[in-house]
């Protein structure tokens, strides 16, 4: 039986990345949290208890290496904050303006279909599309707060 960690190790080796314990744990965290889209700081904080010797610089350098090797995508929707996405298939994102959650949206992209992402002879390497609004959880909370205020 192949474990998730064995798959991650193989994935790193296929990309020419030495599978150190820290790299394995960082990629494992990303693969287990597909809907999280964490920042460098979030990854660091989540793994620090398991890896007390982990540094913020190591996480930053590792994620940049993963970006270069196309193991992850960087998602930048607001400002300069980069969130990391293990899902490298073509998809879009929804950013909740209340809680900051980023949610994957699987839309059919006419421009990404057809001849494997080729448009008029141009090769597409990346597609970035996003929506902004209020997620369903925050919408429910807003509704509860509004109803609570009106009864006062």
Q: What is the pLDDT of residue 67?
A: 94
Classify the C-alpha dihedral 51-79-76-69 as positive or negative: negative
Q: Which domain holds residue 71?
A: 1-86
Q: What is the mean pLDDT of residues 116-136?
A: 75
Q: Which residues have a Cβ under 8 Å from the Cβ of 38 and sit 6 or more positions away?
A: 29, 30, 46, 83, 84
The domain total for the chain is 2
- For residue 107, the model assigns a pLDDT of 75
CA 60 to centroid of chain Cα atoms: 14
Residue 19 reports pLDDT greater than 80: yes
Residue 95 CB neighbours (<10 A): 20
20 phi, psi to nearest 5 deg: -70, 165
Secondary structure element (H or E) that encloses residue 132, with its range: strand 130-133
Burial of 102 (0-12, 13-18, 19+ CB in 10 A): buried
Residue 138 has pLDDT above 70, yes or no: yes
pTM of the prediction?
A: 0.73
**pLDDT tens digit string along 44-102?**
999 999 999 999 999 999 999 999 999 998 888 777 788 898 887 777 788 888 988 88
127 and 63 part of one domain: no
Same domain assignment for residues 94 and 47: no
Asked if residue 97 and residue 79 are part of one domain, the reply reads no
CATH of the domain at 108: 3.30.1490.190
Q: Are residues 38 and 70 in the same domain?
A: yes
Cα–Cα dist 111/10, whole Å: 32
4 and 71 together in one domain: yes
- Mean of pLDDT over the chain: 83
């Amino acid at each position: 039986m192949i474990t998730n960690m064995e798959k991650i190790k193989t994935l790193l080796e296929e990309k020419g990345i030495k599978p150190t314990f820290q790299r394995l744990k960082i990629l494992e965290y990303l693969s287990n949290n597909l809907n999280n889209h964490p920042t460098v700081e979030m990854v660091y904080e989540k793994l620090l208890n398991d890896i007390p010797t982990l540094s913020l610089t190591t996480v930053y350098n590792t994620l940049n290496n993963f970006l270069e090797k196309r193991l992850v995508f960087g998602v930048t929707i607001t400002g300069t904050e980069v969130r990391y996405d293990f899902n490298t298939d073509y998809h879009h994102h929804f950013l909740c303006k209340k809680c900051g959650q980023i949610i994957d949206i699987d839309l059919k992209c006419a421009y990404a279909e057809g001849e494997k992402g080729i448009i008029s002879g141009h090769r597409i390497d990346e597609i970035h599309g996003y929506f902004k609004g209020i997620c369903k959880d925050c919408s429910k909370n807003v509704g509860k707060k509004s109803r609570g205020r009106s009864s006062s």
